[in-house]
Amino acid sequence: MKMFSSLKSRYRYGFTLIELLLVIGIIAILASIVIVAINPTKQLGEARNAQRRSDVNAVLQAVYQYAIDNNGALPGNIGTEEKQICDGAYASETCTGADGVDLSALVGTYITAIPRDPQQGNEGDDANWTGYSILQTNNRVTVSASGAELGASISVTR
């Protein structure tokens, strides 16, 4: 009988509460270090800015292709004042007036669809606007993204 009690004390099964708490604490510390190092908010903001840069270049390329095919004439009412680009699917009187530029003439031939800012809403007052703006100065066209994040300025001129 004495022999079994000595074996039992020599081999214990499971972990003590202190050991479990230490392991959980170490895992929590390592997880917080990894989350801080990855910084998902910054990563997502950079991804949306990359999409904005791509969209701005696509719109500008489509405008230039249109101008080449139409003897230098620009689509919509692009002028010297910066105006918001309207979404062709939601184009209205507001879009073609003094407030915005309707680039729906580009859709199909020069671009598959007018791109929208990654964080732009599709409902309410934001439904008509893409989150991008356009203007022409000195025979050069500038397209910019007003919703750039992380202090970035996204604008392309050609």
For 123-149, what is the mean pLDDT? Answer: 85
Q: What angle do CA 11, 16, 19 make, to 5 degrees?
A: 115
pLDDT band at 126 (very low <50, low <70, confident <90, very high): low
Looking at the predicted structure, is the pLDDT value of residue 121 above 80? no
Q: Are 59 and 132 spatial neighbours (Cβ–Cβ below 8 Å)?
A: yes
Tell me the HSE value of 2 on the side-chain side, using a 13 A CA sphere. Answer: 0
pLDDT in tens, 57-78: 999 999 999 999 999 899 888 9
pLDDT in tens, 78-90: 989 999 998 765 5
Looking at the predicted structure, is the pLDDT value of residue 46 above 60? yes
Residue closest to 147 by CA, chosen among 52, 61, 58: 52
* Per-residue model confidence (pLDDT) at position 76: 82
Please give the share of the chain, as a percent, with pLDDT higher than 70.
Answer: 81
* Per-residue model confidence (pLDDT) at position 47: 93
* Per-residue model confidence (pLDDT) at position 129: 83
Could you tell me which residues come within 8 angstroms of residue 9 by beta carbon, excluding any fewer than 6 positions away? none
Could you tell me which residues come within 8 angstroms of residue 56 by beta carbon, excluding any fewer than 6 positions away? 132, 143, 144, 145, 154, 155, 156
What is the token pair recorded at 150?
């992380």
* Per-residue model confidence (pLDDT) at position 40: 87
